[in-house]
Structure 1
Amino acid sequence: MKIADCHMHSFFSSDSETPTEDMVKRAIELGLPAICLTDHYDMDYNTGEFQLDTPKYAEKIWELQEKYRGKIEIRFGVELGLQLHLKERMEKYVTMWPFDYIIGSMHVIDGKDPYYEDAFPDWTAEELYRAYFRATAENIRSFHHFQTLGHLDYVVRYGKEKSRAYSYRTFSDEIDAILKELIQHDIALEINTGGYKAGLGVPNPTPDVIRRYRELGGEKITFGADAHKPEHIAFHFADAAAIAREAGFRYYVRFCQRKPEYLPLD
């Protein structure tokens, strides 16, 4: 059984132009048992992007669920951008909609997105990475009504120095704090294969972080390719599954009505 891809975007996200149905059709071609659409909603993004028309988005997913019933399971999800001052708004939002799955992701630190190389001109890569990881742990402590943490080291994927200024060992205290918060609040760790697409040669987070999560007692992992185009659905999933098995995982989870379903990796 192939692994379900539970992180993908369509034209409901500001950074994708792909019709939602095209993502579904490609997943069926690949023989995936299930997918979860997780279009972006960053409530307070500094350039005004990544707002989500949730009523239209939900309507489209429910339409596709009916159209492709018996061919693939389509889950209703969202990728929610975490920021401390949004706690009350996020809590209200997640109770308003019957999501199967919510990814909590850090896209913004200090009001800016590290995706843009010039966002932090006065910070060294180490300062940025350390601040990002500390902010991630703080956000999870404040708001934890989501099922998985998306791309834990997103900042490394887009930082100026990328992995040249990064290793788990250098930031072990900050990363361990994140992993312990996930375990405490029963939140899964996402293995996001967008790192391969970005040329890092590894997923986000890196294999040593995935191993450390298991060592600390973490049991729940999810898989997502972070695809914004059909050709990236389930991207490098075989490599990611091998990393998970080497770390000691035998199962992964996908979610229905926010409840975990455990499926074998083999």
Structure 2
Amino acid sequence: MKCDFHIHSSFSGDSDTPMPAMIERAITLGLDTICFTEHYDEDYPEGEENFSLAVSDYYETLCTLKKQYCSKINICFGVELGMQSHLGNLYTKYVQSWPFDFVIASQHLLDHTDPYYPAYWKNKNPSDVIRHYFKETLQNLKSMQGEYDTLAHLDYIVRYAGFGFTSYHYDEYADVIDPILRYLIEQDKCLEVNTAGFKYGLGHPNPCEEVLKRYRQLGGEKITIGSDGHRPEHIAYNFDHLQDLLNHIGFQYYCIFQKRKSEFRRLDR
């Protein structure tokens, strides 16, 4: 697989890597297309990370680098939006104001708090938090008014639950996961397969194999592939293994985007 459609640079609040370093690494790996998907989380809790996005500077820099590297790699203009239900109208106007190639919808917050931080989990039952997360995901997806192309790292919450995948099973949450998968299929949107789960040592992508199998059983065919890389060494992380995993589940293609239009690529290219 020669396309990575979820990478970040120093334009994201949680990365300090210059864009050229990410591009050079992608070229070294033999990728032919990458999409920068810098974070924009409006109304993110004060005192934590800054996930505002200097989109004018970002776009200007990307356009310059796109021209500079045009003979070596295709560089796409994307954004990762941190969903909250009250932000739907704002995000709709935002997406329509810029010539994005690709828009990721992500669920990062619960109760206006980032579960990345251990303090969120104090005195909480992890199973209850995970269930709450999936319910919020569906509600927030509906608030996006269709202005997104893929749902990122569906079971992201498990990365921070304290037990990894050892006590998390699709069957326990099928009643709240299946409505999300059905909604994506009904809306003709993609489900992202995010390899950061491997990077974090979980042994699985996000979402895990059981969720991907269920998505396929329900008729889901549209997936995007992303490493969620914030550093050069994380680009296309474990893509070789992922290709075999997806083939085994029954996927033959993945999607890339140009000007918000999807294009199917075979998993072997």
- What does residue 56 of structure 1 align with? 57
- What does residue 119 of structure 1 align with? 120
For 1:85-164, what aligned pairs fall within 5 Å after superposition? 85-143=86-144, 144-164=146-166
How many angstroms does 1:70 deviate by? 1.6
Q: Aligned residues: percent identity?
A: 48
Cα distance in 1 for residues equivalent to 2:51 and 2:83: 12
AA matched with 2:11: F
AA matched with 2:168: Y
Match of 1:182, SS?
helix
How many angstroms does 1:161 deviate by? 2.7
Cα distance in 2 for residues equivalent to 1:207 and 1:87: 30
AA matched with 1:183: I
Cα distance in 1 for residues equivalent to 2:245 and 2:259: 28
AA matched with 1:177: P
Cα distance in 2 for residues equivalent to 1:3 and 1:240: 12
> Once structures 1 and 2 are overlaid, which stretch shifts more, 139-148 or 12-21?
139-148
Contact 1:3-1:223 at 8 Å conserved across structures: no
Cα distance in 2 for residues equivalent to 1:94 and 1:251: 26
Cα distance in 1 for residues equivalent to 2:73 and 2:206: 26
How many angstroms does 1:159 deviate by? 1.7
- The reply to whether residue 21 of structure 1 matches residue 23 of structure 2 is no
> Once structures 1 and 2 are overlaid, which stretch shifts more, 159-168 or 71-80?
159-168
Cα distance in 1 for residues equivalent to 2:41 and 2:30: 31
Contact 2:15-2:231 at 8 Å conserved across structures: yes
AA matched with 1:3: K
Cα distance in 2 for residues equivalent to 1:114 and 1:3: 32
AA matched with 2:41: D
Structure 1 counterpart of 2:242, from 240, 243, 252: 240
Match of 1:181, SS?
helix
- What does residue 264 of structure 1 align with? 266
How many angstroms does 1:204 deviate by? 0.4
Contact 2:33-2:73 at 8 Å conserved across structures: yes
Cα distance in 1 for residues equivalent to 2:224 and 2:257: 9
Contact 1:125-1:161 at 8 Å conserved across structures: no
Match of 1:217, SS?
coil
Cα distance in 2 for residues equivalent to 1:84 and 1:75: 27
AA matched with 1:27: A
How many angstroms does 1:129 deviate by? 0.1
Cα distance in 1 for residues equivalent to 2:217 and 2:44: 35
Per the normalisation by structure 2, the TM-score is: 0.96
Cα distance in 2 for residues equivalent to 1:58 and 1:169: 42
Cα distance in 2 for residues equivalent to 1:54 and 1:243: 36
- The reply to whether residue 219 of structure 1 matches residue 221 of structure 2 is yes
Structure 1 counterpart of 2:176, from 174, 179, 186: 174
Structure 2, unmatched stretches of 5+, are: none
Match of 1:5, SS?
strand
- What does residue 44 of structure 2 align with? 45
Cα distance in 1 for residues equivalent to 2:251 and 2:84: 31
How many angstroms does 1:214 deviate by? 0.7
How many angstroms does 1:120 deviate by? 3.2
Cα distance in 2 for residues equivalent to 1:42 and 1:142: 15
How many angstroms does 1:145 deviate by? 1.1
Deviations along 1:41-76, whole A, 9 cap, x unmatched? Answer: 001111361110000000111011100012100000
Two-structure CA RMSD over aligned residues (Å): 1.0
How many angstroms does 1:139 deviate by? 1.1
Contact 1:103-1:149 at 8 Å conserved across structures: yes
For 1:164-203, what aligned pairs fall within 5 Å after superposition? 164-203=166-205
Structure 1, unmatched stretches of 5+, are: none
- What does residue 3 of structure 2 align with? 4
